[in-house]
């Protein structure tokens, strides 16, 4: 339309805001006190993870498990046919708002198909993956089906009889139980792993029959010997548990400790192969195969031709093809020591008791569960008693009506207003309002003697029931007898033989590691600034020419030693990598050598800084820092009992490193600062430390922005007046060099 002004449209940016839009406070940095941030933001998050996610409660479930199982129970999945897992996950979101993917992952672990639990709570159909394999993943929820397993009935028994408390869900549209009234100690029957903030929980599984028997024994005798009835943990994947009484006693008493579990194998003589059919619960097929392949490639195991995963619908199987003449039992004993075919389960019985995380032993957990179950049974008994009393109270009104039915009919017929019917019945028969309401609601067809007499036949039975329930509530022994009967019924109905075999540590044959004779001969080691390494024999060195080096590289260390020396390569990220001279092939000066960061698997981007060659871990490592401090670390700090290749925290990172030296004994070093001052330091004046990451002691005083520039071993006679640079006390600033101190060497400075 001509002459009409319109507003100019401003194109939005990728953020959805116009180009000229201004956001208040954008780009500003707000400073906060760290303690305030931790208290206001981090602590509530940590408490939420501990209380509402990661740590199980005395019923054996985390909130995510409980919400899922209760939803399936309310959907009627305890009976009937299986339904799509996607449907279950969607319904559970009414209680658990964390998304269907997280809910489905929870259901997968609880399922029979996944084989993660000794007694699965979910029956499954379809591919639910396998707990013992990281590669065998479950199918999407739209392809699988599920329902509750029969044993799940024991989780919800009498849940509608006020046995546990209920609370509102996250949007107050429905209610959910705070705990499930389990009829057996499920907290110890199925594995449970949770990682919270600052704490974790890892509970192993026990055989259901043994747990029920032990619980009954503890109820009868609080000092019962747990080990006499609860033999050892029982894992879903079977395996062989190495029985060590002291270790198990510690786990049972404190809730902490490590349990050794071995794989189960059989030897197929016709095909000359080992078939592993059960593995420890704490490892996976892929971890075992990867480690075995690593050992074969490294030359530590030479009896294996091939290893492969042959797991199928019949179950787990790892096949190891052997070379001719190999003793399978001896090989497996070595593999137990070198691979996850024998692994440990680290126990940490951390459970929420009354909202407080507590690490407890088996006896403590059973006593807490018994107390919880006693409360549940008492609440159920009181509920039944209340219902029986209410029914008896109503039937008492029928007794009075029976005396004169015509009177009741006449009262109702002659009452003019409906609101007066109940009061008139109360007056006419001397009954209370509840009874009168009940009488008033009786259908006309039921106001006959036959119906009323049939109903009154229940009065005597109800009176006996009320008396019995009252007696039960007043007797702790009767409550305990009820719990014991329920435990015996559960053990009989759902109990199964042990899956994990118990073997004794004393019966295990320990194969001595064969010592490989290493040829010991003289050699010279060369190490360059860029991290290249060469090992050359004296004969080859005499016949060789100049060293081949990378452009710009130079040799920084030359060590005449022997082939049996252990080598320590210090990286520039405070790590040290251990190797042996015999791990490297003899070479010549005409080759560039081995690149140490690649050869020893340094961290990405990490370079090699220094090489130390040792036979025994004696002497010291010296670390000189720019701030003038020197750390003197005893070499024993780098000795390890295991064959670890990498040690972190090899030295301090508080200040940039100037130089590293390995010294078998104390000696003198010449320190030079950027100001030109020099100091002769005898390392005997520094006390050694056993901690690798020590920050050291101040030896050179530096002023302004000056730093320590260089450190070299002192060569006697290189200074004319060397005493000028020595000091009796540390730290010291050192002395400025003078011409007469150097004599003829002045021109070389």
CA distance 108 to 141: 9
**Direct distance between the N- and C-terminal alpha carbons of the chain, in angstroms, rounded to an integer:** 90
Q: Are 367 and 220 in contact (CB under 8 A)?
A: no
Q: Are 110 and 67 in contact (CB under 8 A)?
A: no
| Residue indicated by tokens 């107390």 | 371
Q: Are 648 and 579 in contact (CB under 8 A)?
A: no
| Residue indicated by tokens 């490590």 | 258
CB count within 10 Å of CB 678 equals: 20
**3-class DSSP state for residue 269?**
coil
Element (H, E) at 264: strand 264-268
Give one DSSP letter per residue of 167-215, joined into a string: EE-TTSSSEEESS---SS-GGGTS-EEEE-SS-EEEE----HHHHHHHH
Q: Which residues carry out catalysis?
A: 143
Q: Of 260, 256, 259, which is closest to residue 348 (Cα–Cα)?
A: 256
Q: Of 265, 292, 267, which is closest to residue 278 (Cα–Cα)?
A: 265
Q: How many CA atoms does the CB half-sphere of 478 hold within 13 Å?
A: 10
CA distance 452 to 72: 41
Element (H, E) at 698: strand 697-698
**Bridging pattern class, strands 646-647 and 678-682:** unpaired
**Bridging pattern class, strands 318-322 and 192-195:** unpaired
The secondary structure of residue 54, as a DSSP letter, is I
Q: Which stretches of 185-321 are DSSP H helices?
A: 208-220, 226-229, 245-254, 285-297
The phi, psi pair for 471, rounded to 5°, reads -65, -40
């Amino acid at each position: 339309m001509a002459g009409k002004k319109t507003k100019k449209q401003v194109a939005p940016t990728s953020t959805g805001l116009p180009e000229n839009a201004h956001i208040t406070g954008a780009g500003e940095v707000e400073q906060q006190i760290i303690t305030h941030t931790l208290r206001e933001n981090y602590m509530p998050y940590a408490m939420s993870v501990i209380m509402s996610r990661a740590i199980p409660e005395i019923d054996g479930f985390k909130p995510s498990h409980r919400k899922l199982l209760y939803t399936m129970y309310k959907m009627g999945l305890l009976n009937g046919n299986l339904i799509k897992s996607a449907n279950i996950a969607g319904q559970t979101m009414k209680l658990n708002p964390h998304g269907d993917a997280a809910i489905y992952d929870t259901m997968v672990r609880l399922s029979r198909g996944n084989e993660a639990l000794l007694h699965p709570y979910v029956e499954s159909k379809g591919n639910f993956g396998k707990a013992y394999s990281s590669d065998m993943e479950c199918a999407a929820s739209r392809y699988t089906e599920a329902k509750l397993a029969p044993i799940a009935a024991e989780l919800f028994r009498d849940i509608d009889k006020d046995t546990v408390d209920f609370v509102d869900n996250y949007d107050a549209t429905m209610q959910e139980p705070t705990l499930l009234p389990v009829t057996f100690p499920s907290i110890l029957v199925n594995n449970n792993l949770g990682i919270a903030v600052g704490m974790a929980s890892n509970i192993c599984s026990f055989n259901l029959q043994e747990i029920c028997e032990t619980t009954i024994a503890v109820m009868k005798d609080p000092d019962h010997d747990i080990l006499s009835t609860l033999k050892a943990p029982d894992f879903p994947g079977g395996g062989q548990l190495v029985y060590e009484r002291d270790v198990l006693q510690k786990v049972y008493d404190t809730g902490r400790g490590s349990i050794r579990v071995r794989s189960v194998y059989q030897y197929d003589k016709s095909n000359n192969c080992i078939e592993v059919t059960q593995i420890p619960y704490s490892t996976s097929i892929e971890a075992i195969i990867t480690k075995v392949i690593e050992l074969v490639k490294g030359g530590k195991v030479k009896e294996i031709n091939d290893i492969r995963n042959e797991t199928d619908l019949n179950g787990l199987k790892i096949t190891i093809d052997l070379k001719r003449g190999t003793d399978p039992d001896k090989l497996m004993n070595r593999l137990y020591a070198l691979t996850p075919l024998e692994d440990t389960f680290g126990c940490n019985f951390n459970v929420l008791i009354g909202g407080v995380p507590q690490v407890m032993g088996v006896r403590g957990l059973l006593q807490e569960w018994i107390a919880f179950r006693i409360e549940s049974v008492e609440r159920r008994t009181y509920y039944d008693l209340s219902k029986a009393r209410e029914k008896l109270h109503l039937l008492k009104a029928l007794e009075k009506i029976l005396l004169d039915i015509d009177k009741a009919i006449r009262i109702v017929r002659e009452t003019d207003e409906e609101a007066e019917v109940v009061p008139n019945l109360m007056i006419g028969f001397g009954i209370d309002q509840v009874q009168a309401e009940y009488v008033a609601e009786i259908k006309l067809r039921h106001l006959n003697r036959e119906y009323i007499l049939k109903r009154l036949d229940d009065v005597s039975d109800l009176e006996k029931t009320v008396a019995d329930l009252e007696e039960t509530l007043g007797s702790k022994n009767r409550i305990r007898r009820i719990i014991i009967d329920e435990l015996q019924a559960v053990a009989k109905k759902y109990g199964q033989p042990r899956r994990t075999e118990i073997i004794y540590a004393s019966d295990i044959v320990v194969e001595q590691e064969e010592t490989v004779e290493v040829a010991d001969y003289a050699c010279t080691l060369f190490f360059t600034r860029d991290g290249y390494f060469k090992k050359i024999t004296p004969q080859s060195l005499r016949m060789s020419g100049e060293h081949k080096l990378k452009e710009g590289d130079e040799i920084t260390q030359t060590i005449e030693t022997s082939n049996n020396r252990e080598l320590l390569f210090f990286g520039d990220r405070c790590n040290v990598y251990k190797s042996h001279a015999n791990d490297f092939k003899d070479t010549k000066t005409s080759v560039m050598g081995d690149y140490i960061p690649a050869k020893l698997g340094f961290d990405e981007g990490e370079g090699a800084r220094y090489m130390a060659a040792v036979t025994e871990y004696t002497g010291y490592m010296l670390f000189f820092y720019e701030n003038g401090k020197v750390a003197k670390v005893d070499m024993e700090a780098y000795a390890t009992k295991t064959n670890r290749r990498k040690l972190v925290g090899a030295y301090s990172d508080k200040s940039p490193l100037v130089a590293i030296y390995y010294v078998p004994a104390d000696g003198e070093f010449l320190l030079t600062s950027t100001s030109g001052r020099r100091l002769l330091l005898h390392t005997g004046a520094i006390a050694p430390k056993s901690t690798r990451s020590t920050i050291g002691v101040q030896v050179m005083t530096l002023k302004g922005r000056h730093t320590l520039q260089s450190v070299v071993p002192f060569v006697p006679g290189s200074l004319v007046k060397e005493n000028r640079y020595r000091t009796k006390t540390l730290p010291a600033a050192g002395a400025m060099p003078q011409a007469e101190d150097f004599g003829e060497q002045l021109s070389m400075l």
